Chains A and B, each alone.
Chain A
Amino acid sequence: MSKNMKKRRFKNGCLWLAITLLAILFLLPTILTVVNSFLSAAEIERSYGAVLGGDTYMKEQVILRLVPDIATGEQYHTFLLQSPEYLQKFWNSVLYTVPITILQVAVSALAAYGFCRRPSRLRRLIFFGYLVLTLMPYQVTLVPNYLVSKQLGTYDTIWAILLPGIFSPFAVFLLTKYMQRIPREYIEAAQLDGANEWQIFRRIFLPQCKSALFAVGMLVFFDYWNMVEQPMVLLEQEELQPLSIYLSRINEGELGLAFAAAVIYMIPCLLLFLGGEKHLEEGIVTGGIK
């Protein structure tokens, strides 16, 4: 008996340990980013110069900072008050990501409804085309995007990013999968009441899909918030670049800023995540079957 209990306690202890380790492993980059954002520029230079200074064959090793020698808000101060160009780029990111997220989800919700209401051979074929497009890496779709933006004269304007983003087929695929699971009986009942297509969409599909719409919106937001490829190909002007591009280019001299900028850049995602975690957990594939 007591031997059994001991064994169980031991097993439980191992479980705790395993879970904590797993969680820390996953959280490590987040923790590092946040902690490092409170380091002074000099300390960052000392700690990471060996890695990020560009000279691969320096003798010294990097020092991973989990506790700063002196915590300082210096980087935040620089980012928020002394570098208007960063704030400008942060704002650019908002200007790209928010409309793309909202409109891509809206356009896709309509299309998903169209796909799953009356599956005909033609629609199945179109859906197949959408799926292939969704799976194409950006390097494939960027060429078409580039050609079109040149033709339409939107190259190097915000529209070069916005328009392909809004019509990107990614959300269509996810939402169609979800809507296919909405029970037929709901629709038939509404039809008996004389509801037309728009009413069915508005009154039955949209409320049923609330979680999915939110979850898909989050995925789209995270993706475009971090976009790198599109602006590099479709934009030339420095003033139009989103902060994601800028962050990924931050060089040695501004290394100190990088972490604070990253933390600030993470905040909108964090807020969205905290507000929508339960929607994510309700899942995309299973929702309708209850």
Chain B
Amino acid sequence: MKRRQDRKSASFLFLLPSLAGVLLFFLLPFGMVIYYSLVNRPVDGDFVGLDNYKALLHNKAFLLGAKNTGILLAISIPLAVLLPLKLALWLERAIPLKSQLRTALLSPMLVPVASVILVWQVLFHRNGSLNAWLGTHLDWFYSPWSILMVLLLYLWKNIGYHTILYTAALAAIPRTYIDMANLDGASRTRQFFAVKIHFLAPTIFFVVLMSLIASMKIFREVWLLTGSYPNQNLYLLQHFMNNTFRNMDYQKLSSAALLLATVMGAVIAVLLGIERRLDRDTEYE
């Protein structure tokens, strides 16, 4: 029993460097953020309870940012999860130029953000190539379609890696299962839902999380493309935070940050719950 305890604390030591760093650089200051969100001034503030949060929920800019971010996530994540899955299943077949295609799909990872921005401007600008090809005069940056432009950028950037993740997962499925399904004369679709999805579940879960992380990071590109005050279809939660940070409006910023952290926490708790259930299912086959 004592030895077990020793082992337990020994493996805890591995956590320490990271834990110390995360505490110092992320969590402790996050405590300050909580404090800021509950007072009315950064210095010598009075405790105001949830007033900052109430104000936030009536703030038009915050609500707009939250709405647009919500829309972006709702469209981008399913696409970033499902399109690569389709592509990976397709790449499983004997098709020509397979490895070249895979490399091409991964190439967006290499392109510096700055030149992505240049290329996107050249393509989507009012005088840009896309309008020239389509014969339109749409100002993409300021139209309701601007979200499409961001979506394309996001998918272009992330699809490749997600496809590779799925490809690896598909390759790891034991052949016997596939052969058995083949013997049963199962169609491709049936094979997928009866056999493959079972093995793919952890990867799908992983890709969902990666897509979520990536869709938070896409702000970098949006911001470089359109600046701090884009058209109202592209005004994201991060724009709101970025601008309040610049104006040193710590109360607004802190309460927005905490609200976002809470929502994210809830989403992750649900996702982890699903994952654990999936794990339990696969353990006892």
Q: Does B12 sit within 8 A of A, measured CB to CB?
A: yes
Given A197-B11, A281-B164: A61 in contact with B224 (beta carbons within 8 A): no
Nearest A-chain residue to B258, judged by Cβ: A140
| B139 and A56 form a contact (CB under 8 A) | yes
Q: How far is the CB of A263 from chain B (nearest CB, A)?
A: 8
Nearest B-chain residue to A150, judged by Cβ: B29
| A166 and B19 form a contact (CB under 8 A) | no
Q: How far is the CB of B151 from chain A (nearest CB, A)?
A: 15
| B219 and A26 form a contact (CB under 8 A) | no
Per-residue 0/1 for A111-149: is the Cβ within 8 Å of any B Cβ (1 yes, 0 no)? 101110110100100101111111111111111110110
Which residue of A62, A114, A196 is within 8 Å of B132 (Cβ)? A62
In the bound assembly, the distance between CA atoms of A247 and B28 in angstroms comes to 34
In the bound assembly, the distance between CA atoms of A52 and B16 in angstroms comes to 49
With a CB–CB cut-off of 8 A, which chain A residues contact B76? none
Q: Does B186 sit within 8 A of A, measured CB to CB?
A: no
Taking CB atoms and an 8 Å cut-off, the chain B residues in 109-134 that contact chain A are 109-119, 121-122, 125-129, 131-132
| A250 and B115 form a contact (CB under 8 A) | no
Q: How far is the CB of A244 from chain B (nearest CB, A)?
A: 7
With a CB–CB cut-off of 8 A, which chain A residues contact B28? 144, 148
| A51 and B115 form a contact (CB under 8 A) | no
| B102 and A113 form a contact (CB under 8 A) | no
Most buried by B among A51, A61, A137: A137
Interface of A, helix, strand, loop or mixed by DSSP: helix
In the bound assembly, the distance between CA atoms of A274 and B201 in angstroms comes to 29
Given A114-B11, A139-B219: A128 in contact with B269 (beta carbons within 8 A): yes
| B18 and A137 form a contact (CB under 8 A) | no
Q: How far is the CB of A173 from chain B (nearest CB, A)?
A: 8
Q: Does B57 sit within 8 A of A, measured CB to CB?
A: no
| A258 and B220 form a contact (CB under 8 A) | no
With a CB–CB cut-off of 8 A, which chain B residues contact A265? 112, 114
| A164 and B169 form a contact (CB under 8 A) | no
Interface size of B by Cβ–Cβ distance < 8 Å?
Answer: 94
| B26 and A262 form a contact (CB under 8 A) | no
Taking CB atoms and an 8 Å cut-off, the chain A residues in 271-290 that contact chain B are 273, 277, 280-287, 289-290
| A58 and B15 form a contact (CB under 8 A) | no
Listed in ascending order, the chain B residues whose CB lies under 8 Å from chain A are: 7-8, 10-19, 21-22, 24-30, 32-33, 95-97, 100-119, 121-122, 125-129, 131-132, 139, 156, 160-161, 164-165, 167-169, 171-172, 202-203, 206, 209, 212-213, 216-217, 219-220, 223-224, 237-238, 241-242, 245, 250, 253-254, 257, 260-261, 264-265, 268-269, 272
Starting from the known contacts A26-B107, A138-B238, A283-B164, 12 additional A-B residue pairs (CB-CB under 8 Å) come to: A19-B96, A22-B105, A23-B100, A28-B119, A111-B17, A114-B16, A131-B209, A131-B268, A137-B237, A250-B114, A269-B110, A285-B168
Listed in ascending order, the chain A residues whose CB lies under 8 Å from chain B are: 12, 15-16, 19-20, 22-30, 32-33, 48, 50-52, 56-58, 60-62, 64, 107-108, 110-111, 113-115, 117-118, 120, 123, 126, 128-145, 147-148, 163-164, 166-167, 169-170, 172-173, 177, 196-197, 201, 218, 222-223, 225-226, 228-229, 233, 244, 247-248, 250, 258-259, 261-262, 265-266, 269-270, 273, 277, 280-287, 289-290
